[in-house]
Chain A
Amino acid sequence: MKRIKLLALISALILVMTACTTAGDGDETTTTAADGGGEDNGNGDTGGATLAEVESRGTLNCGVNDAVPGFGFRDPDGNFSGFDVDFCKALAVAVLGDAEAVNYVALNAQQRFTALQSGEVDVLIRNTTWTASRDGGEAATFATTTFYDGQGMMVRADSGFASIEDMADTTVCSLTGTTTEQNVTDRFGSIPFELLTFDDNEVLQESFVAGQCDGWTSDKSQLAGVRTNFPDSEGGPDALTVLDETFSKEPLGPVTRDGDTQWSQIVDWVVIALIQAEEFGIESGNVDSFDSSEDVNIRRLLGLEIEDDDGNTVVFDPGIGIDPGWPSAMITAVGNYGEIYERNVGPATPLGLERGPNSLWTDGGLLYAPPYR
Chain B
Amino acid sequence: METMEKTAGTTTASTSSDVLLEVRGLKMHFPIVRGIFGSSKGWVKAVDDVSFDVARGETLGLVGESGCGKTTVGRSIVRAYKPTGGIINYYGIGKEPVNLAEVEESELKAYRQDIRMIFQDPYSSLNPRMPVFEIVGEPLRNLFSMSRSEMEDRVREALVRVGLRPEYIRRYPHAFSGGERQRIGIARALVTNPKLVIADEAVSALDVSVRAQVLNLLENLRKDLNLTYLFVSHDLSVIRYICDRVVVMYVGKVVESAPVNDLYSTPKHPYTEALMSAVPIQNPALRSLETRIRLKGEIADPSNPPSGCYFHPRCRFAQERCKVEAPELRPIGKDRMVACHFAEDLSLKGAVMGHAAIL
Instruction: Indicate whether A and B interact.
Output: no
Give B residues with C-beta under 8 Å from A. none
